[in-house]
Amino acid sequence: MKNHTIAFAVMAAIAAGCATAPTEDELAAKAHDVLKRSFEPRGQAGLDRLDQDSLQRMCSKYSGGNALPADVAERLQKEQMALIKYPASGKLIGDWKRGEKIAQSGRGGQFSDDPKKPSGANCYACHQLTKQEISYGTIGPSLYNFAKLRGYGPDIQKYAWNKVYNSHAYVACSSMPRFGYKGILTEEQMQDLVALLMDPASPVNH
């Protein structure tokens, strides 16, 4: 994507008769402007997704095979950890049965999705959660027996909440969406997903 953007901007500069090549920041600004003018908000797909925050800009900088330096990764993770918020009630666990439905749902964030309806988490696109599932993604690690292996205590509950809310607090530039920080899921939905991972009665732990 980055190389294509640079090539496009360079060709535009040559066509315009520019004497000097544009800077990388100028190229990025031009590319962003082109994207903004090429899209229009519809359904759950808004233009806000085109605006990168500081984390996304840094991750883009080190994409394409460029390794993220350890000190940069540590700084990003601390910044993302500071963004995590917890329910005012202090309750991190909801209903695992609702959580299972959320994990199965891939709806949300698309132009065809109703903005008034909640998004799903689409967890099975990247993770195995139960032994009953015969089809699941492998981009992320298996979450089967999540709490059974780690324990059911408050520290693990908090860890599960943090990962759902903002996984980049643990792995900078993770492929996992920041479900809480980006407002993809509601507080109740996140509680239900944590329940799916943590409840002893959940199929995740059987």
Residues 24-60: tens digit of each pLDDT: 777 766 766 766 667 766 656 565 665 788 999 999 8
Residue type at 54 in one-letter notation: S
pLDDT for 182 equals: 93
Does 9 map to a domain? Answer: yes
How high does pLDDT run on average in the chain? 85
Interatomic CA distance for residues 50 and 97, integer angstroms: 34
pLDDT for 189 equals: 98
Give me the half-sphere count of Cα atoms (radius 13 Å) on the Cβ side of residue 202.
30
Res 118 pLDDT > 90: no
Beta-bridged to residue 45, according to DSSP, are 42
Tokens coding 154: 């408050």
* Residue 200 pLDDT level (bands cut at 50, 70, 90): very high
Report the range of poorest mean pLDDT among 30-34, 81-85, 194-198: 30-34
Does 76 map to a domain? Answer: no
Count of domains forming the chain: 2
The range of the structural domain enclosing residue 120 comes to: 96-205
Does 112 map to a domain? Answer: yes
Residue type at 49 in one-letter notation: R
CATH number of the domain encompassing residue 110: 1.10.760.10
* Residue 10 pLDDT level (bands cut at 50, 70, 90): very low
**49/145: higher pLDDT:** 145
pLDDT for 2 equals: 46
pLDDT for 7 equals: 47
Interatomic CA distance for residues 21 and 50, integer angstroms: 25
Closest CA to 99 of 118, 130, 121: 121
DSSP string, 36-61: HHH---BTTB-GGGGS--HHHHHHHH
Does 77 map to a domain? Answer: no
Closest CA to 92 of 195, 9, 7: 195
Does 79 map to a domain? Answer: no
> Are residues 104 and 8 part of one domain?
no
